[in-house]
Structure 1
Amino acid sequence: MLRKALIVDDEDDIGLMVSRILTKEGLQAEHVNRIAAAKDKVQDGEYQAYLLDLNLPDGTGFDLIPLIRAQSPNARVIVISAHDGVYEMERVAQEKVHTFIKKPFTKSQIIEAIQGLEVQ
């Protein structure tokens, strides 16, 4: 069961909006805007879901996935990004990301993605 989610997005307005959506869905949600801050949170191993932007000032959301998998092998990963080219989609498949959501997105896409994680 999903209880806690970490959103990693350098656009604070998006991170806060996604946090509010997830909170309304009954999850505890936290937002950080840098890979460095996210690494500290991932080490805690307390999150069941991660929503990752790809284009961050200090790296890419893909940089976090090996750490997430090592720390919390059952954690679910959603990528939220405007970057949806061939490379990104191949990498999403390679990293076994659970869901990819293209920016701009709707509230219902976030809710559907979270609900979909619970049945996987």
Structure 2
Amino acid sequence: MTPGMCRRLLLVEDDPGNRMTLTMLLEDEGFTVVTADSCALAARLLNDAPRYDAVLLDSRLGDGDGRSLIPLVRARLPGAKLVLVTGWLNEEALCHAVDAVFQKGTHFDELLACLCRLLSPAPG
């Protein structure tokens, strides 16, 4: 699979440097990236008739707990893949609510491999 294959992602990240870097790297791989820097903006984007193949959700945002958006993502985007991006080590408890937990500081190629695996068509 070509990594991006015109896949549309919502990146929810409040750190400007991380947001910019991830956006550029993902766009270089062919993804279309829409960004939100807060829970409030992410909620608005999710409620505005979204079409995203995946959501990369920072667990800690400046205006709240990014994990609080998990039910909204699941309700508005039932077919989308949800990746929780975290700097915390204790997020394994949320593994049942998301498709993957990605540790901040891990190399981008591992995130890309995770996204490609999640977004690959099911065999059959």
TM above 0.5: yes
The alpha-carbon deviation at position 2 of structure 1 amounts to 6.2
Is the contact made by 1:34 and 1:56 (CA closer than 8 Å) also made in structure 2?
Answer: yes
* Count of matched residue pairs: 116
What is the identity, as a one-letter code, of the residue corresponding to 2:26? L
Q: Which runs of 5+ in 1 are unaligned?
A: none
For residues 51-90 of structure 1, what are the structure 2 equivalents within 5 Å? 51-85=56-90, 88-90=91-93
Is the contact made by 1:4 and 1:29 (CA closer than 8 Å) also made in structure 2?
Answer: yes
TM-score (norm 2): 0.85
Going from structure 1 to structure 2, the CA distance change for 1:55 and 1:83 (only over 3 Å counts) comes to same
What is the identity, as a one-letter code, of the residue corresponding to 1:51? L
For residues 98-113 of structure 1, what are the structure 2 equivalents within 5 Å? 98-113=99-114
| Partner in structure 2 of residue 26 of structure 1 | 30
How large is the RMSD of aligned CA atoms in angstroms?
1.5
Q: Which has the higher helix share?
A: 1
| Partner in structure 2 of residue 116 of structure 1 | 117
Identity %: 27
Runs of 4+ in 1 over 6 A off after TM superposition: none
Q: Which runs of 5+ in 2 are unaligned?
A: none
Structure (1 or 2) with the larger CA radius of gyration: 2
| Partner in structure 1 of residue 40 of structure 2 | 36
| Partner in structure 2 of residue 7 of structure 1 | 11
